[in-house]
Chain A
Amino acid sequence: MSVLNWIYIAMVSVAVILSVVRMIKGPDITDRVVALDVFTTITVALFVFFAMIFDRYIYIDVALVYGLLSFIGVLVIARFIERGF
């Protein structure tokens, strides 16, 4: 791997660890939900990065699944918190 990939790995790892720290510390439920949303958004980039590292471009389909469906998972909890259903 080149130097640029190592810099990318370091930045994404720090972002993932920070969002998990917020999920552990977060005093309220809304903090944890926002942390889950941030975590999913970062992880989609990580899926695409793995597809590039392994040189198999068909792996990007998995990233597409998370990009479409993570919205619904957050929406379920948000609608529950505002007494929606």
Chain B
Amino acid sequence: MIRKIVYAIFAAIIVIALVMFFAAYPFGANKMAVGTYYLNHGVAQTGAANIVTSVVLDYRGFDTLGEVSVLFAAAAGVAILFFMLGIGKKERENLTKPNFVVRVGSRIIFPFILLFGTYIFVHGHLTPGGGFQGGSIIASGFLLLYLSYPGTRVNRGGLSIIEGLAGLTFVVLGLWGLFTPTDSFLYNFLPKGLFNTLVSAGILPIIYIAIGFKVASEFAGIVDDMMCEVICRGGEK
């Protein structure tokens, strides 16, 4: 009973506060000065056609570095917790084998998922998409592989090497900017190239490809931890 009363008070306070706050900001009006500046000068300053990409990687690149490290911390936490859980692992029997249609269909569709994810994060500065989206698409492809062929495992050593190299690329490209005449972290020092072509926008495509590999390997690691806790028995804990 007391929970319901507390909830009613909380909900009233929160809804009243939200309505009072957003009464001053009507829907559909132009509100921000910073966004207008980025839209007017973003193409000349970064060379990317997608302004969201240039905000994520160039103007706010340091925030993205922090968020990638939060992602790494979460993946490491999942790995540690499932390693602890694996001690008292219980056996499962009477598992159903995957159907013939599922096996053949997933074998056909898996390379296309990898190709589509690669397309998404290579074209991150031209079309919607980028490293985060492409990485999670590739991880979904690995999930499909786990579902249709039980007992498979990805190579964890290879995953950690890819992840480390991708993070190292991001940090080294950022530190390189300190040695250019502008002395700033994550400075876009490469030539901008021809606008709206694949090789343009300086270091932004390289960083997005690195983020794509990093996100893909982290989510594949999470899927591997969670599925192998169920599927894979025997071998190492």
Contacts and interface: CB of A to CB of B under 8 A. Distances in A.
Asked whether any CB of A lies within 8 Å of a CB of B in the complex, the reply is: yes
Interface of A: 58-59, 61-62, 64-65, 68-69, 71-72, 75-76, 79, 82-85
A46 to B, nearest CB: 17
B94 A72 contact: no
A11 to B, nearest CB: 27
Interface of B: 94-96, 98, 102, 109, 112-113, 116, 120, 127-129, 133, 137, 140, 143-144, 146-148, 150, 227, 230-231
A12 B128 CA distance: 25
Contacts of B120: 61, 65
B137 A69 contact: yes
Given A84-B95, A85-B230, 19 more contacts: A58-B128, A61-B127, A61-B128, A62-B128, A65-B116, A65-B120, A65-B133, A65-B137, A69-B113, A69-B140, A75-B102, A75-B144, A75-B148, A76-B143, A76-B147, A83-B96, A84-B98, A85-B227, A85-B231
Given A68-B137, A84-B150, A59 B96 contact: no
B147 A85 contact: yes
